[in-house]
Amino acid sequence: MTRTRNPELTRVTLLDAAATVLKDLGAGLSLDAVAKEAGVSKGGLLHHFPSREALLNALALRLLEQFRARVAAALEAELTAHGPQPGAWARAYIAASFDPRAEEEAIYAVMQTLAVQADVLAAWQATETELMAAAETDGLPLGRAHAIRLACDGLCLSHAPAAYFDAVREELIRWTR
């Protein structure tokens, strides 16, 4: 029987495994642990990601893209439900920011250290530019739009209790009305 290979599926599997290992081990992530979690050889992992840094960079880029997709989906839902009203983007950003993603919580802190890598930094800056432009064209006062965005970013990186998150989320939503 011929074994079919799907490099993209293998990359996704490896990134999923890296996220799991990173969540469990934090900065102690090793390529051996990721390969074992993914069910591939270390050589197979190295074929797709030639170094630990390459793997973590790819994971950081995927997290950025997943967040952008969540904001876009939340904005589409907001526009469908309420039409293009001021604050629609801000409400979508709040929804995406406070959407519980347990697998991401432990990863974000480690990913911050990768922001100095050129490709991750470029993607991060491009995303930040896009988010700033969206906030500025949302129909809210400029300071309020950015305060909402920055509050979401800061709180999601904190270790505050769930009740704190709920209270802040509700207050931020009030700011969009």
> Which sequence spans correspond to the domains of the chain?
1-50, 60-175
Task: Give pLDDT, residue 101.
Answer: 61
What mean pLDDT is reported for the chain? Answer: 83
Q: If you average pLDDT over residues 52-76, what whole number do you get?
A: 88
Looking at this protein, which amino acid is placed at residue 12?
A: V
- The pLDDT tens digits of the residues spanning 6-33 come to 888 889 999 989 888 887 777 678 899 9
What pLDDT, in 10s, does the model give residues 115-150?
556 777 787 788 888 888 999 999 999 999 989 988
pTM over 0.75: yes
Q: How far is CA 24 from CA 42, 60, 68, 158, in A?
A: 19, 17, 25, 18
Question: Would you state the structure tokens that stand for residue 41, as one six-digit string?
Answer: 């050889």
In the predicted model, what is the mean pLDDT of residues 65-74? 89
| CB 26 within 8 Å of CB 20 | no
Question: What is the rounded distance in angstroms from the CA atom of residue 113 to the CA atom of residue 83?
Answer: 39
Share of the chain above pLDDT 90, in %: 40
Check residue 48 and give its pLDDT: 93
Closest to 62 measured CA to CA, from 21, 12, 101: 12
The reported pLDDT for the residue numbered 115 is 57
The class that CATH gives domain 1-50 is: mainly alpha
Reply yes or no on whether the pLDDT at 92 is more than 80. yes
Tokens 């051996």, residue located = 32
Maximum C-alpha span of the chain: 63
